[in-house]
């Protein structure tokens, strides 16, 4: 399920950018579009995304320049380069600059979507530490380690809920989305509130914020 996943599309061709935006929105992604390298770099450095689709031939700052600046700025978001430059040396340049994938124009829509899904899936499964204000979650050990060194082992469901919220701290998750992604569409929607309560009891109410009428988002320790 793609709901709640954020993708930045950096593409200066207006028609192609609109097509990609519509396509990704239809798939359930939250999409932002930048039409030049300067805007793409600003968004990439100041906002959180699950994947970035980056045109190599952007104005203001070219795609490889944006890519290198993002990596130098500590941004680890998986990046797929789209480019009309499709020779082997071109692909090598893009991958060496820090991209996870490279797709030449023209491209097949189904292949693009499959590659975006693969990027997000690999990224979410390869990061064993997820940080939040006041501590971090060791995903493999299902253990929260606070800044004072206190360690708390979580249940599988507690860890999965905290991981999802902490990976996208700016995203507000509705109960149906959390039910689907964390609790395998359990019959009782109240299970979401139950596990939010479990985490708050262990770490304080501020850890998870309630957005009235919408759902929950990550907070932090106070």
Residue 46, token pair as written in the block: 């100041």
Say yes or no to pLDDT of 185 above 80: no
> How confident is residue 90, by pLDDT bands cut at 50, 70 and 90?
confident
CATH number of 129-218: 1.10.10.10
Place of tokens 């097949």: 108
Does the domain spanning 6-126 belong to CATH 3.40.50.2300? yes
> How confident is residue 198, by pLDDT bands cut at 50, 70 and 90?
very high
Q: Among 89-93, 121-125, 138-142, name the one with the lowest average pLDDT.
A: 121-125
Query: For the chain, what percent of residues have pLDDT higher than 90?
Result: 50
pLDDT at 13: 93
> How confident is residue 97, by pLDDT bands cut at 50, 70 and 90?
confident
CA distance 90 to 4: 33
pLDDT at 125: 60
Spans of all domains in the chain: 6-126, 129-218
What is the phi/psi pair of residue 161, to 5°?
A: -65, -45
Residue 216, token pair as written in the block: 């929950």
Say yes or no to pLDDT of 126 above 60: no
User: Parallel, antiparallel, or unpaired for β 51-55 and 79-83?
Assistant: parallel
Q: Is the distance from CB of 208 to CB of 219 less than 8 angstroms?
A: yes
pTM of the model: 0.59
User: Parallel, antiparallel, or unpaired for β 143-146 and 151-153?
Assistant: antiparallel
Residue 143, token pair as written in the block: 């253990």
Alpha-helical runs (H) found in the chain = 14-26, 37-46, 63-72, 88-96, 109-126, 156-167, 175-182, 190-203
Q: Is the distance from CB of 57 to CB of 84 less than 8 angstroms?
A: yes
> How confident is residue 17, by pLDDT bands cut at 50, 70 and 90?
very high
């Amino acid at each position: 399920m793609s709901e709640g996943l954020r993708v930045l599309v950096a593409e200066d061709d207006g028609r192609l950018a609109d097509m990609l935006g519509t396509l990704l929105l239809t798939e359930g992604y939250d999409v932002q579009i930048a039409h030049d390298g300067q805007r793409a770099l600003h968004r990439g450095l100041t906002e959180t995304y699950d994947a970035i689709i980056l045109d190599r031939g952007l104005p203001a700052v070219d795609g490889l320049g944006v890519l290198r600046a993002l990596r130098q700025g500590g941004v680890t978001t998986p990046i797929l380069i789209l480019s009309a430059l499709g020779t082997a040396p071109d692909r090598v340049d893009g991958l060496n600059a820090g991209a996870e994938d490279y797709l030449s124009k023209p491209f097949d829509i189904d292949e693009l979507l499959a590659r975006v899904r693969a990027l997000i899936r690999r990224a979410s499964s390869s990061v064993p530490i997820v940080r939040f204000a006041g501590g971090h979650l060791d995903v493999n050990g299902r253990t929260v380690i606070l800044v004072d060194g206190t360690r708390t082992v979580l249940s599988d469901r507690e860890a999965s809920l905290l991981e999802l919220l902490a990976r996208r701290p700016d995203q507000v998750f509705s109960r149906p989305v959390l039910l689907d992604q964390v609790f395998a569409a359990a019959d009782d929607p109240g299970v979401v509130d139950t596990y939010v309560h479990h985490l708050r009891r262990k770490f304080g109410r501020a850890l998870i914020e309630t957005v009235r009428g919408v759902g929950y988002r990550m907070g932090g320790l106070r």
